[in-house]
Structure 1
Amino acid sequence: MSENNYPKLHNAAWPGVVGKGPDSEPTIGLDTMLEMTAVAEVDGTGFDGIDLFLYDPHIDIDSSEDDIKALAGKIAGHGLEAGSLVAPVWPDIGGGSAMGSKEDRKNFVTQVKKSCEIGNVLREEGVRPNGVIRIDSAVDPATWAENPEEGTRLIVQTWREACDVAADYGEDLAAEGEICWGGMHSWKTMEQTLEAVDRPNIGFQADMAHTLLYLLGYNAPDDRILPQDFEWGDRETLTEGLEEMTAALRPWTIDFHVAQNDGTVFGSGTHDKTGRHCLPDDPDGRLDIAEDAGHWLRDENGELTKAFNHICWDGCMFPNEVMLQQETWNGILAAMIEVRNRHGWSE
């Protein structure tokens, strides 16, 4: 058995909310997500923490300091720590497009500021030793494509302002690469946008399910890496594609989501189609999770980057029937442990 205790293993709370709602399935409350995370166990090892979505019904972005202190107590009471926080930057829930109107962009930055304030309280309460604030561009690729140069210029400007605000709180921002967000919907546009922002406290949040779709050029055919006639049984070509993509994005990666994908897109509720998350043992899963996580966790020489102190499982838009089974979380934890056994370290 490995003696590695880093990176810490986190579950994600947001699968209880993302893709749920009146036009999908009921949301799953934060209390339930905390409870199922806390009791998951594989051979005596459990999750160390949980990453949070700052959005009702889980956490009100306008929560008072006392509310967040109470949340910190609840998390600690489950023997968990808090990690990365998802800022609710989207127009329909109080934010705004990062390439939208002046008011939109102001709202985007305000939501980041509120997220940093919550993160600061959690740190002061001693339950958040590490983690970032997660953002995206809050705009779809089609809208961005109407005027890519101007769209990217505005996204960069908005992200710079958000970075400057976050720096006041000692926070780093991580842009999650998903094919459904304009200006970051391919590995090339993601790299180019991050370079243009040119702030020391911005980086990339790599999700194994979402980034797999980068290889296929969904929403960005010109940036496809895998050949048009690629077949999933060709492991050598897949590995070469992963190596090319991670060589570009790994230096930016400051937050990491372990996940599985079947090579397709999926959306539910109000969430646009993006890389479909699958359970780690899904027979249609295209990734060797523990092996392929190494492309992100190790550099080109095979050395551990140690660029972040925790990793998180992301499994959005699973059916509630699956999410409410404890064995689901035990299986996910087992996959996380295998990643740490292969690519972790001890402190």
Structure 2
Amino acid sequence: MPDNNFPKLHNATWPGIVGKGPDSEPPIDFDTMLKLTATADVGGVKFDGVDLGLLDPHVNIDLTDDGIKKLADKVTNLNLSIGSLVAPIWGGPAMGSKEERKQFVEMVRKACHIGKVLRDIGARPHGIVRIDSASSPQQWAADPANNTKLIAQTFREACDVAADYGEKLAAEGEICWGGMHSWKHMVETLEAVDRKNIGFQADMSHTLLYLLGYNSPQDRILPENFDWSDRATLTDALKKVTKALRPWTIDFHVAQNDGTVHGTGSHDKTGRHCLATDPNGKLDIATDAGHWLRDENGNLTKAFKHVCWDGCMFSNDVMTKQQTWNDILATMIKVREKHGWYEAV
């Protein structure tokens, strides 16, 4: 039986930007992130691609079509494909003013245009466009019902634009985004959007925080002062969250978390991404990824063609070591060995 060749293994470029800035460390340039990804090697197995944040200083959202093709050449010349894209929607909150919400939708349109051009030239075989509410839980809590309606309305408009480009949108489940800051609110928001081309982006680091009820204590699943050595209780909690959100999941980030919140630079407090080898990590990455990659009967969902490592807010010293990315790739390979499949190409 041939070795699994799906899901494809991607690295994210935006950790070179997110959490960096004037009050933190300088960004790591795009070329360096690509080189570290392309150079990673574990027994001859390499990353298959990258997911891109369409964010300055890495990628200008206003690229011309020629610029998009040059971007594709830069990536594919390193034997990497392009997968999911992050739309830079933070200047226009999804529950903001009419003009702000219009700006949100326009950023999604620009991201979808880039995505379509990359698809058309064969550089992007699969992937989604990632969004969030660009609003805080505190802002959302001022008027939960109406704010959820506003977010859903903005997401609907964005979905309709994305459909014109043949794209799907994935809303990121992260505790720092209003209306998406708990697993229950995330489901409510997705249901309210009511569009076929929207889904959920699960990140193992962020969804672990859903179990602890940060920013939404009433939705906590694990008990206070939880003993992390109690794997049975943790597994039950993971099953509860994945049962609710797996049917929506169309994009997936492999990650580790130590059960705490963290933030650096201009990025709000969110789940602390940990290195794949961090001894304080609370997840058994390869095993726990299976809650998202398999259904309740243990069958592979094959709901997405690639998985991506997301490790934001590591220090530049850590991120520029090649061994860091070799260790991450080794973990990704374990996920594919345990929950992957083979397709003839």
Count of residue pairs the alignment pairs up: 343
Letter in 2 for 1:62: D
| In structure 2, C-alpha distance between the alignment counterparts of 1:220 and 1:140, rounded to whole Å | 12
Aligned to 2:102: 106
Deviation at 1:229, TM superposition (A): 3.7
After superposition, where does 1:1-347 map in structure 2 within 5 Å? 3-91=3-91, 96-347=92-343
Deviation at 1:227, TM superposition (A): 1.3
Deviation at 1:190, TM superposition (A): 0.1
| In structure 1, C-alpha distance between the alignment counterparts of 2:120 and 2:187, rounded to whole Å | 33
| In structure 2, C-alpha distance between the alignment counterparts of 1:310 and 1:127, rounded to whole Å | 14
| In structure 2, C-alpha distance between the alignment counterparts of 1:197 and 1:99, rounded to whole Å | 13
Deviation at 1:106, TM superposition (A): 0.1
Deviation at 1:228, TM superposition (A): 1.7
Letter in 2 for 1:329: W
> Contact (CA 8 Å) 1:40, 1:333: kept in 2 or not?
yes
Q: Secondary structure at the match of 1:167?
A: helix
Deviation at 1:225, TM superposition (A): 0.6
Letter in 1 for 2:302: K
C-alpha offsets along residues 275-304 of structure 1, whole Å, 9 cap, x if unaligned?
000001101000000000000000000000
Change in Cα spacing, 1:41 to 1:2, as seen in structure 2 (3 Å) is: farther
Deviation at 1:231, TM superposition (A): 1.0
> Contact (CA 8 Å) 2:2, 2:342: kept in 1 or not?
no
| In structure 1, C-alpha distance between the alignment counterparts of 2:224 and 2:309, rounded to whole Å | 30
Aligned alpha-carbon RMSD (Å): 0.8
Letter in 1 for 2:128: V
| In structure 2, C-alpha distance between the alignment counterparts of 1:266 and 1:121, rounded to whole Å | 36
> Contact (CA 8 Å) 2:173, 2:206: kept in 1 or not?
yes
Q: Secondary structure at the match of 1:216?
A: coil
> Contact (CA 8 Å) 1:2, 1:341: kept in 2 or not?
no
> Contact (CA 8 Å) 1:7, 1:311: kept in 2 or not?
yes
Letter in 2 for 1:80: L
| In structure 1, C-alpha distance between the alignment counterparts of 2:339 and 2:321, rounded to whole Å | 28
| In structure 2, C-alpha distance between the alignment counterparts of 1:182 and 1:22, rounded to whole Å | 25
Deviating more after overlay: 327-336 vs 222-231: 222-231
Q: Secondary structure at the match of 2:57?
A: coil
| In structure 2, C-alpha distance between the alignment counterparts of 1:72 and 1:66, rounded to whole Å | 10
C-alpha offsets along residues 148-181 of structure 1, whole Å, 9 cap, x if unaligned?
0110000000000000000000100000100000
| In structure 2, C-alpha distance between the alignment counterparts of 1:2 and 1:109, rounded to whole Å | 44
| In structure 2, C-alpha distance between the alignment counterparts of 1:296 and 1:150, rounded to whole Å | 31
C-alpha offsets along residues 225-276 of structure 1, whole Å, 9 cap, x if unaligned?
1112421111110000000000000000000000000000000111000000
| In structure 1, C-alpha distance between the alignment counterparts of 2:263 and 2:159, rounded to whole Å | 29
Letter in 2 for 1:245: V
Letter in 2 for 1:157: Q
C-alpha offsets along residues 119-144 of structure 1, whole Å, 9 cap, x if unaligned?
11111121100000000000000000
| In structure 2, C-alpha distance between the alignment counterparts of 1:2 and 1:99, rounded to whole Å | 49
| In structure 1, C-alpha distance between the alignment counterparts of 2:176 and 2:138, rounded to whole Å | 9
Letter in 1 for 2:186: M
> Contact (CA 8 Å) 2:174, 2:271: kept in 1 or not?
yes
| In structure 2, C-alpha distance between the alignment counterparts of 1:70 and 1:125, rounded to whole Å | 11
- Identity of aligned pairs, percent? 70
| In structure 1, C-alpha distance between the alignment counterparts of 2:261 and 2:226, rounded to whole Å | 17
C-alpha offsets along residues 97-138 of structure 1, whole Å, 9 cap, x if unaligned?
000000000000000000000111111121100000000000
| In structure 1, C-alpha distance between the alignment counterparts of 2:266 and 2:342, rounded to whole Å | 41
| In structure 1, C-alpha distance between the alignment counterparts of 2:115 and 2:287, rounded to whole Å | 32
Identify unmatched segments of 5+ residues in structure 1.
none
| In structure 2, C-alpha distance between the alignment counterparts of 1:19 and 1:8, rounded to whole Å | 27
Q: Secondary structure at the match of 2:222?
A: coil
| In structure 1, C-alpha distance between the alignment counterparts of 2:229 and 2:270, rounded to whole Å | 22
| In structure 1, C-alpha distance between the alignment counterparts of 2:304 and 2:8, rounded to whole Å | 9
| In structure 1, C-alpha distance between the alignment counterparts of 2:63 and 2:310, rounded to whole Å | 25
Identify unmatched segments of 5+ residues in structure 2.
none
| In structure 1, C-alpha distance between the alignment counterparts of 2:124 and 2:300, rounded to whole Å | 23
